[in-house]
Amino acid sequence: MRGALLVAGTASDAGKSVLTAGICRWLARQGVRVAPFKAQNMSLNSWVTADGAEIGRAQVMQAAAAGVEPEAAMNPVLLKPGAGHRSQVVLRGRPVAEAGALDYRELKGRLFAEVLASLADLRSRFDVVVCEGAGSPAEINLRATDIANLGLARAAGLPTIVVGDIDRGGVFAAMYGTLALLEPADQALVAGFVVNKFRGERALLEPGLEMLRALTGRPTLGVLPWRDGLGLDVEDSLGLPAPGETRGDPDGALRVAAVRLPFLSNFTDLDALAAEPGVAVRYADRPEDLDTADLVVLPGTRSTVADLGWLRRRGLDGALARRAAAGRPVLGVCGGYQMLAATIVDEVESGAGRVDGLSLLPVTVRFAATKTLGRPSGAAYGQPVLGYEIHHGVATAHGGEPFLDGCRNGAVWGTTWHGALENDGFRRAFLADVAARAGSPWRPRGEVSFAAVRQRRLDVLGDLVAEHLDTGALLALLAGGPPAGLPFVPPGAPPNAAATFVTPDRRPALAGPASGAAPTPEADHSGGSLPDQGSRP
């Protein structure tokens, strides 16, 4: 079998990422060599491949579902939003520009050649490529420069399915409206719909599905039921827990408070903690939430200085200082580690120059123009640790005890390594130390393998596809492409909304960063949006 298709959605967080992963898992079980692909991903949740390329974490999860090694071609364009309406543009795993709303629109024409080349490369090496769209294909103000939805599908001849989230309400209007706002050539690629997160009687839904088919000439290829607790790697803030929401064991003896930073990045670091029996992970944005926790985690951030200012405005700095003085555990990861330093010198990310840190660790941080990307290894608590690092800030310790690549001072730990808590032996040993210092009765229960937990969750997605998707229709789309004769649904897109560039033969020379303001939510909805400083991302 050879083929490819696009999984589009009625909106961000409609279920594109999980459906793409589920299809990859199901195909891999059939012996198909399959790869995921997302042309353009706006996300602060990223990962480092074996050859040192930075890509979106959702594509890493999808590659795991497919049973293949993640690579830069699976996510050729990654946008990392930051403070001041600026985003870093990462091309094939390396940062190449800082682009603003208008700047990025100009840049897209050159990026599209790289997108198409990456997709063609994957299609030459894999039997099937399952492409994930970005945001919604019906963003008619952006269609002229779209490189991730129907712009991609038109250029590559991809059959397209549209997934809608029924849990939000209005799913029929969303699916019909998405189709009806596409121009005829785009509509001709949309072969059907998928309903996601259904929790009700299927018989009550059937009349609506039949009416949708009559109105659009397209079938609903599946109704995926609600499944809680999957805990899969999300790529944008819509999938994050709200402040006060608890993950893991709500009655757990060990209480972890993760500071809900406005530009929170790589929040999957907390997933392994939530998977450990007896551990409750709560996202927090108030000082009192930190006071009652056994462990406070300052996670990563794309905007260290901006988030440090937010933390101080909310009085969280005082809560952290009280904890450190009382010998109560605090862990800083990457940007969170940088905040714990005595001094931060940043002429790169924020341009703020010298900034006082929280002074809870004897560390100085200086931001470098070159981003550090790597897959380091080491040991702590007598346990091997593998991690990954993504940062401009270079931390230098001037005291304390060594801890991975960072340091420890009393009950305050800091490291730039993401993913360290996914190492089972280290995680349990670290939490046992935390519990002892916090006076918690928590003790490790059993030998939980976080890697196995993730695989079981991916198996659930494969099961959902096998049991609730019309897999025969799916295989037909992969083998034969978009069905012929699909009817046009008026009114269609406004005139001249279609893409104005298709440049598969023009390869851009993007070798170094350029400066400017970053894409705004109006400029790009690709799985996330740019938060304003101090707002929830």
For the annotated catalytic residues, the residue numbers are: 334, 418
Tell which residue, 62, 18, 4, 236, has the closest CA to residue 135.
Answer: 236
Give DSSP secondary structure letters for 322-364. Answer: HHHHTT--EEEETHHHHHTSSEEEESSSS--EEEE---SSSEE
Mapping DSSP to helix (H, G, I), strand (E, B) and coil, where does residue 120 land? Answer: helix
Strands 264-265 and 246-248: unpaired
Residues 378-397: b if buried by 16+ CB within 10 A, e if exposed: bebeeeebebbbbbbbebeb
Neighbour order of strands in the sheet with 363-374: 353-356, 343-346, 363-374, 389-397
Q: Is 338 exposed, middle or buried (0-12, 13-18, 19+ CB in 10 A)?
A: buried
Cβ atoms within 10 Å of 51's Cβ, excluding its own? 11
Tell me the three state secondary structure of residue 452.
helix
435-459 CB burial, b ≥16 within 10 A, e <16: beebebebebeeeeebeebbeebbe
Give me the amino acid identity at 512: G
Q: Give the span between the Cα atoms of 528 and 489, in whole angstroms.
A: 28
- Terminal CA-to-CA distance of the chain, rounded, Å? 41
